[in-house]
Structure 1
Amino acid sequence: MKKDQIAINTLVYLEDLKAGLPQSEMLDWVHELGLKNIEVRREFIKDRQELKDIKTKSEQYGMNVFYSIPEVLYDNQQLNVETLELYCKEAYDMNASAIKLNIGEYGQVSEADLKAITRLTERYSVKLTVENDQTESNGRSQKILDFLTEVKKLGGPITFTFDIGNWLFQGEDPVENAKLLQPFVTYIHIKDIDQEKNTRLLNDGLVDWKRIIGILPKEIPAAIEYPISKKDVLVSEIQKLLNV
């Protein structure tokens, strides 16, 4: 894997997030690691000033920003247009290139929905991706495949973030799901999971992450997304990805 593919999800710095450190400061740390991608988490954004600070730092470092949003695209079978616009505007204000949500409770994907999504993503110059989370409602491969297939059939602008570890929470095989969903994947979340469903350092859990990376599209961004308390350990994890 090339270095310019690797991203740091700010969950890596969970202790600092809990201590109240703004994510804008973490762009400095990612820059010091020699990386060009960071994934910012909405649940830890403090205020609008932080969005501006992230934009300033990202422009200073030439850094690509991804925006992780722990919310759903659909609720009660209705597209959340107003909240989607809010997220797109926040992404625009921080210079983020993409936003990530979960699918939520959708009934049927309509052309009207996709026109609304296209209008917002074009207005705010942002891409939209959905992810498999750790819940049954948003983490099952069949639902995700059905949704993305329908979106593609209608020409919609939604792609997939493949979290390699979250499948284990649903008892699904991440390798088989990589084969199944590969055509839709534009972003990867890297983590390893053990028998007790705890995140572990790469090679210390059950996930055949190297094989999965070999199946998924080449040269797309891949984010380290699990807490790592020491810089030297993080550097070691980055090196594992570089060796793939």
Structure 2
Amino acid sequence: MAEVAIVASAFGAQAIWRDGHAAWSVSARRAGAQAFEVRRELMHDADAQPEALHALGTALAREGLWRVWSTPDSLYTEDGALDEAALCAAVAAGRALGARFVKLQLGGFAGEACAARLASLLEELGARTGEAGDGPRVVVENGQLEQGGKLAQFVGLFTALREAGAAAVIGMTFDIGNWQWPGEPPLLAAAALAPHVEYIHCKAVAGEGARRFAAAPGDDDTLCRAALALLPTHVPRGIEFPFDPACVAAEAAHYVEWLAAA
């Protein structure tokens, strides 16, 4: 059985804005989740300060939940440079929260990994790189935009890191649904990137073109199950689709159980 995280947005963006992340930790724990993903884009600036993040992490830990810190910031800038400021800020926030993972978007990586600098900076920050370091583990996620959402970028990144002897410095969050926005085949991506995947976002996608949106996998959904079969079975899986607001508790418990066993 895989560990399951509930992404805060699954409870509804407006609910998180209104109540704060900690208010929904009891719901996550009662649903049977082992982890809770905190979203920077659903926080007021005051709530993202170190003391507030430490307090939030303590509250989540009291519920028995380990933490993921998610930021919409990118590891690489639009022109392909390593965004050191964004990386430093993300790791600092994750450390304050007591997070296991710190998740960023990939951004504009275009063939030059800056592998040596990335490895040395993560070491300076005390982030966990492979077996070394006691801080949070940095993972990059495939996004919904062309930039940071193409399979070739991720293959190029991990190839460059391996060739520089720094293959283990970061891992990947594999979002099953996000590949569909830039038109990439999720199963091809899963087969290619499985060795680097350390956390999985699970969601189905409804709609077409720019009108796509995240949805709960149906009983007849074969894509999520097929992707999960290609990805590591021991890594945590995150619920990143909205629960029905009319039956949040029941849906949360159902999908935690479903995803743990899928």
TM-score, normalization by structure 2 = 0.85
Q: Residues 98 and 243 (structure 1 numbering): CA distance in 2 closer, same or farther, change over 3 Å? A: closer
- Paired residue total: 241
- 1:162-183 deviations in Å (ceiling 9; x for gaps): 0000111122211111111111
Question: Which residue, 73, 79, 82 being the options, matches 2:85?
Answer: 82
1:135 paired with 2:145, answer yes
1:45 paired with 2:60, answer no
Q: Is contact 1:192–1:204 with CA below 8 Å preserved after alignment?
A: no
1:241 partner letter:
L
Residue equivalent to 1:118: 123
Q: What is the deviation of 1:235?
A: 2.1
Percent of residue pairs bearing the same amino acid type: 24
Give secondary structure in 2 for the equivalent of 1:170.
Answer: coil
Residue equivalent to 2:15: 16
Could you list the runs of 5+ residues in structure 1 that have no partner in the other structure? none
Q: Residues 30 and 206 (structure 1 numbering): CA distance in 2 closer, same or farther, change over 3 Å? A: closer
Residue equivalent to 2:183: 171
Residue equivalent to 1:71: 73
Question: Which residue, 206, 209, 212 being the options, matches 2:224?
Answer: 209
Q: Is contact 1:27–1:58 with CA below 8 Å preserved after alignment?
A: yes
Shifted more, 163-172 versus 70-79: the winner is 70-79
Q: Give, in whole Å, the separation in 2 of the partners of 1:138 and 1:206.
A: 26
Residue equivalent to 2:234: 219
Q: What is the deviation of 1:124?
A: 6.8
Q: What is the deviation of 1:34?
A: 2.5
RMSD, aligned CA: 2.0
Residue equivalent to 1:189: 201
1:219 partner letter:
H
1:98 paired with 2:122, answer no
Shifted more, 233-242 versus 60-69: the winner is 233-242
Residue equivalent to 1:62: 64
Q: What is the deviation of 1:127?
A: 0.7
- 1:123-143 deviations in Å (ceiling 9; x for gaps): 771111001110001111011
Q: Residues 60 and 206 (structure 1 numbering): CA distance in 2 closer, same or farther, change over 3 Å? A: closer
Write out the 4+ residue segments of structure 1 that deviate beyond 3 Å after TM superposition. Answer: 204-207
Q: Give, in whole Å, the separation in 2 of the partners of 1:195 and 1:211.
A: 20
Shifted more, 133-142 versus 228-237: the winner is 228-237
Question: Which residue, 5, 23, 26 being the options, matches 1:25?
Answer: 23
Q: Is contact 1:58–1:95 with CA below 8 Å preserved after alignment?
A: no
Shifted more, 128-137 versus 40-49: the winner is 40-49
Q: Residues 89 and 124 (structure 1 numbering): CA distance in 2 closer, same or farther, change over 3 Å? A: farther
Q: Give, in whole Å, the separation in 1 of the partners of 2:196 and 2:190.
A: 10
- 1:160-216 deviations in Å (ceiling 9; x for gaps): 110000111122211111111111101000000124222222127866111111110
Q: Is contact 1:193–1:207 with CA below 8 Å preserved after alignment?
A: no
Give secondary structure in 1 for the equivalent of 2:227.
Answer: helix
Q: Is contact 1:65–1:95 with CA below 8 Å preserved after alignment?
A: yes
Could you list the runs of 5+ residues in structure 2 that have no partner in the other structure? none
Q: Give, in whole Å, the separation in 1 of the partners of 2:183 and 2:108.
A: 21
